[in-house]
Amino acid sequence: MAHTKKNRFVKTSNSWRFRGNEVKYVREVLNSGFGSSTSGNMNQRYERAFSGRFGTKYAVTSNSGTSTLHQALMAFGVGPGDEVILPALTVVMCGYAVIHAGARPVFADVDPDTFLIDPKDIERKITSRTKAIMPVHLYGQVCDMRSIMKIAKKHRLAVVEDCAQCYLGTDDTGRLGGTIGDVGSFSTENSKHISTGDGGILITNSEVLAERMRKFGGMGFKNIRAQNGQVRKNKDTFQDPKYLRHDTFGYNYRLPEVAAAIGLAQVEQIDFLVRKRQQIAAKYLKALKGCDWIIPQRVPKGSINSYYTFAVRYEGEKKRGVSWYNFRKKFMEFGGDGIYAAWALVYNEPIMQLINKKGAFFPGLPNQARQFKGYLKRVSCPKAEKLQPLIMQFTTNQGIEKDMDLQMNALKKAIRFFDEQYT
Ligand SMILES: *Cc1c(COP(=O)(O)O)cnc(C)c1O
């Protein structure tokens, strides 16, 4: 923590991520007096920079990476009676988005080595009601998109890639995550590679999808187009009692201009920010050399992992007699950051069970979700069940080499400590 004379705010260890034009662009927004909150100028600049970096025709900003998933599913036409296939191992919000769209989430199992959705299980779980697939590029690694797109094509399914944890990662053919399916969905919540505090952004090459996603997130204003979200074009036509504004259903998922300003500055730094995470991941990999009881997320040949976190399968319980918790404790004693556990499988979260059992969104308020009652009847993801308790996520948000080395050395020491105890 360091105070500076000019800046009365306390800088934390994470503030290194905002070293670019963030303040300058926020200042521009404030200096404009917000013009009109619907002018969307900074959002448009941010979108152009983002779609430019990813090489897509359109980018659409949003207020979160949960909203973006909802927008994508709505744009696909997903609704009641439909099913959407997603991995069991991901954040619960992926399941929320499906339910919010009125459809049923169907959970596919994951590969125990890549930790990602298993295409073979996707195919097994397709029914006549399946409308879309939501592969999640977990921990920074792109799913097996070759197989997934083959399945999608064969069964005519829409694909939304959840890239909240994967910026500039590629599959084994070198394609960027988010540019392979119909839509790529990103979150810029605080923990992600690039951050606007909270926020989200969608990319696509489809004009139809871009316009639907933007309209759905922009309250259905009829002036909204795929390219931009400007609502008030000409005051004189707008200010007329006969003027009709809305031709589509939608919510307010707009990203504030101030957040878009930070987003623009973050995109300018995106390669640097991703490289930092890959740099510490390389150090963790070095620390794991020769260790057969901590297995890193498998990166298929030709793929690039963007390492949102450095995820491993911990087998120390079986192979060293050391529990998950005791390894974490020892790692921290050696100066390591807290290791993160994997979230519970989506369908094991109490709310997802409540929806299944009671058809309720809130305990004590029955019937609100009665159409989803029993939706978990056939759920079966044995590999994910086995894998989830073994996952450890090491942090990758260190800004300087000294902090990275501290983590690498803590990992080395913890491994050596338990190896020596064992032999
Ligand atoms: C963070 C995250 C989300 C949700 O993003 P928010 O911006 O927090 O709503 C969705 N999916 C995955 C995989 C995430 O990591």
Tens-place pLDDT, residues 268-295: 999 999 999 999 999 999 999 999 999 9
Residue that the structure tokens 């979150």 belong to: 187
Tens-place pLDDT, residues 342-401: 999 999 999 999 999 999 999 999 889 999 999 999 999 999 999 999 999 999 999 999
Ligand 1: centre distance to CA 193 (Å): 12
Nearest-CA residue for ligand 1 atom 13 is 164
Amino acid identity, position 137: H
Ligand 1: centre distance to CA 123 (Å): 25
The predicted structure's pLDDT at residue 232: 66
Closest ligand 1 atom number to CA of residue 198? 7
207 and 284 assigned to the same domain: no
Percent of the chain residues past pLDDT 70, beyond the cut:
95
209 and 320 assigned to the same domain: no
Ligand 1: centre distance to CA 164 (Å): 5
Residues that are catalytic? 192
The predicted structure's pLDDT at residue 11: 64
The predicted structure's pLDDT at residue 39: 63
Ligand 1: centre distance to CA 141 (Å): 15
Tell me whether residue 372 is in a domain. no
Tell me whether residue 350 is in a domain. no
Query: What's the average model confidence in pLDDT over 56-81?
Result: 98
Tell me whether residue 116 is in a domain. yes
Tell me whether residue 7 is in a domain. no
Residue that the structure tokens 């029955």 belong to: 366
Ligand 1: centre distance to CA 350 (Å): 19
194 and 276 assigned to the same domain: no
Domain of residue 337, CATH code:
3.90.1150.10
Tens-place pLDDT, residues 312-345: 999 999 999 999 999 999 999 999 999 999 999 9
Domain containing 154 equals 14-270
Q: Which of 69, 139, 162 to mutate to test the pocket of ligand 1 (most atoms within 8 A of CB)?
A: 162
> 254, 270, 286: which is the final residue of a domain?
270
Distances (CA, A) of 364 to 230, 356, 358, 361: 42, 14, 9, 9
**Residues enclosing ligand 1, CB less than 6 A?**
64-66, 90-91, 93-94, 136, 162, 164-165, 187, 189, 200
Tens-place pLDDT, residues 220-230: 999 999 998 77
266 and 308 assigned to the same domain: no
> 251, 270, 289: which is the final residue of a domain?
270
Residue 113 has pLDDT above 80, yes or no: yes
252 and 281 assigned to the same domain: no
91 and 192 assigned to the same domain: yes
Domain of residue 49, CATH code:
3.40.640.10
Q: What pTM value is reported for the model? A: 0.95
Q: Which of 67, 187, 397 to mutate to test the pocket of ligand 1 (most atoms within 8 A of CB)?
A: 187
Q: Which of 66, 115, 141, 166 to mutate to test the pocket of ligand 1 (most atoms within 8 A of CB)?
A: 66
The predicted structure's pLDDT at residue 1: 44
Whole-number Å distance between alpha carbons of 90 and 108: 11
Tell me whether residue 153 is in a domain. yes
Distances (CA, A) of 321 to 67, 77, 197, 340, 419: 43, 51, 41, 20, 10
- Name which of 71-85, 235-249, 393-407 the model is least confident about: 235-249
Closest ligand 1 atom number to CA of residue 165? 15
Tell me whether residue 76 is in a domain. yes
Tell me whether residue 370 is in a domain. no
Nearest-CA residue for ligand 1 atom 11 is 164
333 and 187 assigned to the same domain: no
Nearest-CA residue for ligand 1 atom 2 is 164
211 and 281 assigned to the same domain: no
Tell me whether residue 408 is in a domain. yes
Ligand 1: centre distance to CA 423 (Å): 42
Closest ligand 1 atom number to CA of residue 67? 9
218 and 337 assigned to the same domain: no
38 and 147 assigned to the same domain: yes
Structural domains counted in the chain: 2
> 246, 270, 294: which is the final residue of a domain?
270
206 and 329 assigned to the same domain: no
276 and 262 assigned to the same domain: no
